[in-house]
Amino acid sequence: MRTSMSGAWPTSRGCTARSCRGSSGPYQPLRRDYPITEYLDDARPAGIAAAVYVQPNWPLERSVEEVRWVQGVHEEHGWPHAIIGSAAMFDAGAREVFERQREASPLMRGTRLQLHWHSAERFRFASAPDTMNDPVFRENLAVLADFGWLFELQVFPGQMADAAALVAQFPNTTFVLVHAGMLESSEAIHVDPWRAGLRLLAEHANVVVKLSGQATFVHRVDEPLIRLVTATTLELFGSERCMFGSNFPIESIWTDLPTLLSTWLGVLADLDLDARRDVLGATARRVYSLPLGAGDGGG
């Protein structure tokens, strides 16, 4: 069984000017509808048996509408099997949004608000490197434990010291490290601070790693880079805290899903069977509370 962390969206509802550019390059090829039927045509032949919808930057004021839409897709097609939404977590009203999202869908599992900041503006999403220290944001983050929800943590290596302090403050909340910590390249200037930051985060049992988005900066399926990221994260976190994510359709800017999956499967073939099962499904099933039958029969 393989799981996929991905998003499907209608361009008329989801794609904002800011979300259609960034570190992955120009998103114009994706400024079209990507319906669940197209995703399933991609995913099922590749053996993907379950999927988590991760919010692709709908306008925050429409975050409840987004969840209702995804729930409707699930009711019609049986996919996706879990939802990661979003909310304006720097505003005092986030708890009310979370409550409305929970009412809108039993598939809600958590939230993502991108905190990554980089000295290069084109890689930057957050307004400052330390926005995670904002007191209102932290008050809203504390609410997630009441819901049993996780937080998708997207930061660059230079922010990981602050991120380690953040996750330590909320030990009852699971944090999913997006794109395995946003490694820019296999050069030492990038690898050394990334590895040092991962060590800080690995000390906290409530952090798990999503092995996704490794073409974000290199703009290709780079097997040596994937091997480096896989070996490092499994060494520091263990397979039970690592999980594959397809990041589709974003990765379709650079590759097709069969090529992406075959490369990852080739890298993971070096692991023992239990570790492969963790990375390709077991960890995600546990973290996202996926039902045992999710996607069965889907290929």
- CATH number of the domain at 199, please: 3.20.20.140
Q: How far apart are CA 151 and CA 173, in angstroms?
A: 7
Contact 166, 202 (CB under 8 A): no
Query: Where residue 294 falls among pLDDT bands split at 50, 70, 90?
Result: low
pLDDT band (50, 70, 90) for residue 296: very low
Strand 2-6 relative to strand 48-54, pairing = parallel
R_g (Cα) of the chain, nearest Å: 18
Residue 200 domain-assigned? yes
**253-268, pLDDT tens digit by residue?**
899 999 999 999 999 9
Give a yes or no: residue 133 inside a domain: yes
In a domain, 247, yes or no: yes
Using the predicted structure, report yes or no on whether residue 21 has a pLDDT greater than 60: no
Average pLDDT, the chain: 90
Sheet of strand 242-244: strand arrangement: 2-6, 48-54, 82-85, 108-112, 150-153, 175-177, 207-211, 242-244
pLDDT at res. 33: 84
Which secondary-structure segment (H or E) carries 228? helix 223-237
Q: How many domains does the chain have?
A: 1
Asked, for residue 271, whether it belongs to a domain, the answer is yes
The pLDDT value given to residue 19: 42
What is the pLDDT confidence band of residue 67, given thresholds at 50, 70 and 90? very high
User: 7 pLDDT exceeds 80?
Assistant: no
Query: What pLDDT does residue 117 have?
Result: 84
Q: What pTM value is reported for the model?
A: 0.92
Report percent pLDDT > 90 for the chain: 76
- Identify the pLDDT of residue 6: 56
| Mean pLDDT score, 123-136 | 92
Contacts of 292 (CB under 8 A, 6+ apart): 285
pLDDT at position 17, please? 32
Report helix, strand or coil for 245: coil
Query: For residue range 208-222, what is the model confidence (pLDDT) as tens digits?
Result: 999 999 999 999 999
CB atoms within 10 A of CB 225: 19
Q: Which domain holds residue 161?
A: 2-287
Dihedral sign, Cα of residue 7, residue 9, residue 14, residue 18: positive
CA 33/CA 26 separation, integer angstroms: 16
Using the predicted structure, report yes or no on whether residue 8 has a pLDDT greater than 70: no
Which H helix or E strand runs over 264?
helix 257-268
In a domain, 44, yes or no: yes
Q: Give a yes or no: residue 10 inside a domain.
A: yes
In a domain, 93, yes or no: yes
pLDDT digits (tens, 9 = 90+) for 148-161: 999 999 999 999 99
Peptide bond into 224 cis (omega under 30): no
| Statement: residue 30 has pLDDT above 80 | no
Q: How far is CA 159 from the centre of its chain?
A: 17
Better-predicted residue by pLDDT, 209 or 125: 209
Q: pLDDT tens, 265-279?
A: 999 999 999 999 999
Residue 297 placed within a domain: no
